[in-house]
Chain A
């Protein structure tokens, strides 16, 4: 793969992570519930971690970009995306976050499908795997939060 193209591609991916981080930072300032704000702050930190991971790859072009395959229970795919609102519950915040990761993974998969260069396609698929991993982690948090035995 052309090094310049690789760099541009990684910069785009990093920009996505920065945008996500900023979204969560803003969301943390907007919501009323302290727990939801704390959750969004944590998610913004997570996005920063993702950015750091991508930068590591960007500055080591010889390293093989590869992410662990998460077991995908497709929980997010069953859920609707709630709008960002002042009164969000932790459950809705997690729902929103996992939907964002699901969409990010889908975006990379679409980019991979549109590529002729197998190397670029593979890279996009790896980025899709990275986002899928994030989605699955959030799904686990969601399952722990979304079904309380509360009456």
Chain B
């Protein structure tokens, strides 16, 4: 996030797109609701009538996979009325003419045709955006989990730069991260081309620094692979060993049949997890890991706040903390990477990344600190790009043209499937499905379909149906609900008995290589 969670409640306008905030980020949704109580305008853009819509000033129900057209149409109208922040654009951005040229291709009528949003509503949203400051834009995986995810993100940034909503309190471009510590995982270099602190492995000076810090002669300059490449490599022998840590990939990856085929072909698989799950049968070695309440360390949340995690329970059996497991693995591979504690890992980490140098263990005993905090005197950075200052000097407009998802409905598969998360469960259920309370609250996956589609297909609420795509079929009960618009089916991947990723499409954004979980073509069949 460019801004902080608490700032949300002081926004004049909240533009929430591709984020089922009250189910996926209930704490953050609380700040959104507080903002509404303080008379903020809340615009929710989502194909589904999600829970947050109850608090919204406007619900923009655009078609799945049309975010770029929606955002371009809004920018077209903003420019037509001169609602852009010209001072900000002139002083702090580049390539405005290029943005304008592309946005001109999206008059409201065309945007409406693509998105299905009425012209009048688009006009009203643009007016509200153009006349209410500061405006905070929040998005989640509804923006990124598309083959055009990168264009979706740059379009969000384009809108906020156009309106001058960056570098100011209660404004910004704010991705609400998918898990409690996904920000921390990325920050710590769980990416194929950077060391921690986003220091590029391709830079010889950076490699030299890390090699020196870690006491090794050299480090590889070639980037590793992202998940699609790792799995493809299992089939062609380029991935010879695969360590899977805290990610139940059989459940999480799109097109489960493909994932299983890859894992079956894999030469050597190691799994680190807290329970046996759908992926562990493919493992040659399983390391039982401590869970969050059994370990010491840090989590970094969406607003870049590094927070302490403390051991509350003794780990059961042979469970070990992950840093200990990796240290022992490294030692057996010839690198002395032994640490005495999680704190030792942290101290080494911050000695090699100046953005964290000021985040000492003592300083995060309380509420944590938001990086960057380069010195012990530095208070941390709740607001990034203050005053409109960007890494590259000026903010770059990167215009995007709309293109449809990789797979669109046709006669054989006439419905769009989009997937997400439920309030009661977390990810593949490795944690929450081992908890009887959550099972009692929500114990079975459902396919949410609109009353119109249910009527057309003669399906009643609670009937068992097959959700069928070109990749496979999954059986679950139907939930006939107006949360889904006509033509849209929604489900999630929390339940092994009915994992929607059996049918999702394993196609990826070419830049981020994030899968298109949010759009594929399906049909619904009644179970006999």
Residue from the list B94, B372, B387, B394 in contact with A147, Cβ < 8 A: B372
B87 in the interface (beta carbon within 8 A):
no
A2 in the interface (beta carbon within 8 A):
no
B222 in the interface (beta carbon within 8 A):
no
B193 in the interface (beta carbon within 8 A):
yes
Give a binary string over A57-101; 1 marks a CB under 8 Å from any B CB, 0 the rest: 000000000000000111101110000000000110000000000
A107 in the interface (beta carbon within 8 A):
no
How would you classify the secondary structure of chain B's contact residues: helix, strand, loop or mixed?
loop
Chain A nearest CB: distance from B358 CB in Å? 8
B431 in the interface (beta carbon within 8 A):
no
Chain B nearest CB: distance from A105 CB in Å? 16
Instruction: Provide 10 A-B residue pairs closer than 8 Å at the C-beta atoms, listed in order of the A residue.
Output: A36-B393, A73-B375, A75-B374, A90-B392, A143-B374, A144-B384, A144-B385, A146-B355, A147-B198, A150-B391
Give a binary string over B345-380; 1 marks a CB under 8 Å from any A CB, 0 the rest: 000000000110110000000000001101101110
Chain B nearest CB: distance from A95 CB in Å? 11
Count of B residues near A, CB < 8 Å? 31
A12 in the interface (beta carbon within 8 A):
no
B432 in the interface (beta carbon within 8 A):
no
Which residues in A have their C-beta under 8 angstroms from that of B197?
147
B191 in the interface (beta carbon within 8 A):
yes
A33 in the interface (beta carbon within 8 A):
yes
Count of A residues near B, CB < 8 Å? 26
How would you classify the secondary structure of chain A's contact residues: helix, strand, loop or mixed?
helix
Closest residue of A by beta carbon distance from B394: A35
A147 to B384 CA separation, bound complex (whole angstroms): 10
The verdict on A145 contacting B390 (CB below 8 Å), with A72-B377, A78-B374 known, is: yes
Residue from the list A35, A39, A143 in contact with B381, Cβ < 8 A: A143
B452 in the interface (beta carbon within 8 A):
no
Which residues in B have their C-beta under 8 angstroms from that of A114?
none
A77 to B375 CA separation, bound complex (whole angstroms): 9
Chain B nearest CB: distance from A147 CB in Å? 4
Residue of A36, A72, A78 contacting most chain B CB atoms (<10 Å): A78
Which residues in A have their C-beta under 8 angstroms from that of B391?
90-91, 144-146, 148, 150
The verdict on A149 contacting B198 (CB below 8 Å), with A141-B389, A144-B386 known, is: yes
Which residues in B have their C-beta under 8 angstroms from that of A146?
354-355, 372, 374, 391
5 A-B pairs besides A39-B393, A144-B384, A150-B391 with CB distance below 8 A are A35-B94, A77-B375, A144-B381, A146-B355, A149-B198
Chain A nearest CB: distance from B421 CB in Å? 23
B319 in the interface (beta carbon within 8 A):
no
Which residues in A have their C-beta under 8 angstroms from that of B357?
78
A151 in the interface (beta carbon within 8 A):
yes
